[in-house]
Amino acid sequence: MQEAEKHLTVLEKWFCCCCARNSNPNKKKNGQMKNKGKETQAEDQKQDMAIEITNENGEQETYSEKRNELLENKDNQSRRERRERKHHEDQRENEIEENLDAVGGLLSSMLQQSHEMSTIIEGQNDQIDRITKKVDKNSETVKDQTGRVKNVNTSLFAF
């Protein structure tokens, strides 16, 4: 908060200097100063722009230096944020890739299990077919034996 107040103070000083420069009685309407050469005008403009401030370490800085420092800090912060975002995206991609590898491993395992189950089921179907044939054969045998027993019973009771 204190730093923001310092910046506002600097901006106010700069703005006041600009206003004072624009209302300079030595200036003509076309923007040139009376009685001053081009070199002197350039120095005056530099002095108007170079407002000196005292930083928290007690060192003297000009407003333009402070402005450049702030812009550089902003650029560095933007670069840092982009790096962090890229790092986060890379981590997320790595996590997704690891999860896909895990899913692929599970699917491979399930495929192997399904092949094993298929082999077991085919063997059980063969057993069921053999049992069905035996049941059909035994059903025919039982049917024939039942018919014979009926014939024997009929012939025994017929006497």
Q: What is the phi-psi region of residue 35: left when phi exceeds 0, alpha when psi lies from -120 to 50, beta otherwise?
A: left
Instruction: Provide the pLDDT for residue 59.
Output: 66
**52-68 average pLDDT score:** 65
pLDDT at 145 > cutoff 90: yes
d(CA 61, CA 102): 58
Q: Residue 118 has what pLDDT? A: 96
* The pair of three-digit structure tokens given for residue 109, joined into one six-digit string: 């395992």
pTM: 0.39
User: What does the alpha-carbon distance between residue 24 and residue 134 come to, in Å, rounded to a whole number?
Assistant: 121
pLDDT of residue 121: 97
Pair of tokens at residue 105: 């491993």
Using pLDDT thresholds of 50, 70 and 90, give the confidence band for residue 61: low
pLDDT tier, 139 (very low <50, low <70, confident <90, very high otherwise): very high
75-125, pLDDT tens digit by residue?
A: 888 888 888 888 888 999 999 999 999 999 999 999 999 999 999 999 999
Across 23-47, average pLDDT: 47
CA-nearest of 55, 60, 49 to 16 is: 49
Q: 28-61 burial, b if ≥16 CB within 10 A, otherwise e?
A: eeeeeeeeeeeeeeeeeeeeeeebebeeeeeeeb
Percent of the chain with pLDDT over 90: 35
Do 47 and 63 meet the contact criterion of CB atoms below 8 Å apart? no
Report the pLDDT value the prediction gives residue 26, as an integer from 0 to 100. 47
